[in-house]
């Protein structure tokens, strides 16, 4: 049976996730892509040829089952949008680009709503939480644990035994050495090298990564 699927967020990531869905459909996934839900754009406008259907709250009025991908890069915004969706008829599938190397069967897990973009590489004994974004070309080594609502941006490299806590954001091309960790809702700047434990609610940049900002918890 064909099931409807929509994307929340019609920005750059939303357009990429639309493309991912269309590629999965071409490869045989039983979905029909119906369009975007986005608070900023007017209903009836089009993004890459697909319609904007309404604000996020409109999802709560859906009367039929609908699969939803939340395509918002910022972890805190993604969490806040998820918390506004209350409709039990909706489900949040894991979407994995066909080019992903998914590592050892049965030893890589991904929680509901997680999105894996093109050319990511997983190895073995990897646990990915709910509503995680693994962006293009991310490398994930053995025994890595990624918390819910985390974003790992393009080309980031996580060596073995890396731990990313809930809501962390790993910037483009950052590298984390074996055993490195990032605290809850912390941000790692693009190109940083994380060599130890970065605490909760802060921003760290550079090689090696040093904390430059702390946010209120």
CA distance 158 to 213: 23
- Ramachandran area for residue 13 (φ above 0: left; ψ -120 to 50: alpha; else beta): alpha
The angle at the Cα of 89, spanning 83 to 92, to the nearest 5 degrees, equals 60
Task: Give the number of residues in contact with ligand COA, rule: CB under 6 A.
Answer: 13
| Nearer to ligand COA (CB atom), residue 34 or residue 205 | 205
The reply on whether position 75 binds ligand COA by CB under 6 A is no
Position 154 contacts ligand COA (CB under 6 A): yes
- Is the CB of 53 or the CB of 162 nearer to ligand COA? 162
Please state the closest distance from residue 42 (CB atom) to ligand COA, in A. Answer: 25
Choose, by CB under 6 A, the member of 67, 114, 175, 187 that binds ligand COA: 187
The reply to whether 25 sits near ligand COA by the rule CB under 6 A is: no
The angle formed by the CA atoms of residues 81, 7 and 59, to the nearest 5 degrees, is: 60
Residues in 157-176 at the binding interface with ligand COA, rule: CB under 6 A: 171-172
Known active-site residue 97? no
Burial string for 112-124 (b: 16+ CB within 10 Å, else e) reads ebbbbbbbbbbbb
Report the Cα 21 to chain-centroid distance in Å.
14
Of 97, 142, 157, 184, the active-site residue reads 142
What is the 8-class DSSP label of residue 64?
S
Residues that bind ligand COA (CB under 6 A): 153-154, 171-172, 187, 189-191, 203, 205-206, 212-213
Which residues carry out catalysis? 142
């Amino acid at each position: 049976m064909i099931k409807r699927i929509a994307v929340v967020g019609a920005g750059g990531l939303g357009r990429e996730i639309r493309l991912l869905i269309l590629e999965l459909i071409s490869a045989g996934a039983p979905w029909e892509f119906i369009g975007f839900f986005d608070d900023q754009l007017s209903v009836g406008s089009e993004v890459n040829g697909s319609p904007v259907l309404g604000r996020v709250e409109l999802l709560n009025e859906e009367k039929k089952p609908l699969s939803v991908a939340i395509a918002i890069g910022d972890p805190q915004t993604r969490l806040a949008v998820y918390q506004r969706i209350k409709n039990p008829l909706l489900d949040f599938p894991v979407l994995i680009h066909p080019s992903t190397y998914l590592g050892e069967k049965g030893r890589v897990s991904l929680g509901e709503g997680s999105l894996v973009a093109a050319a990511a590489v997983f190895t073995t004994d990897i646990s990915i939480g709910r509503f995680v974004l693994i962006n293009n070309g991310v490398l994930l080594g053995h025994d890595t644990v990624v918390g819910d609502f985390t974003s790992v941006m393009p080309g980031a490299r996580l060596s073995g035994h890396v731990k990313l806590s809930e809501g962390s954001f790993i910037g483009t091309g950052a590298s984390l050495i074996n055993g490195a960790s990032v605290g809850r809702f912390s941000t790692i700047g693009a190109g940083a090298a994380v060599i130890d434990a970065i605490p909760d609610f802060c921003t760290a940049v550079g090689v090696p990564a040093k904390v430059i900002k702390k946010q209120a918890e």
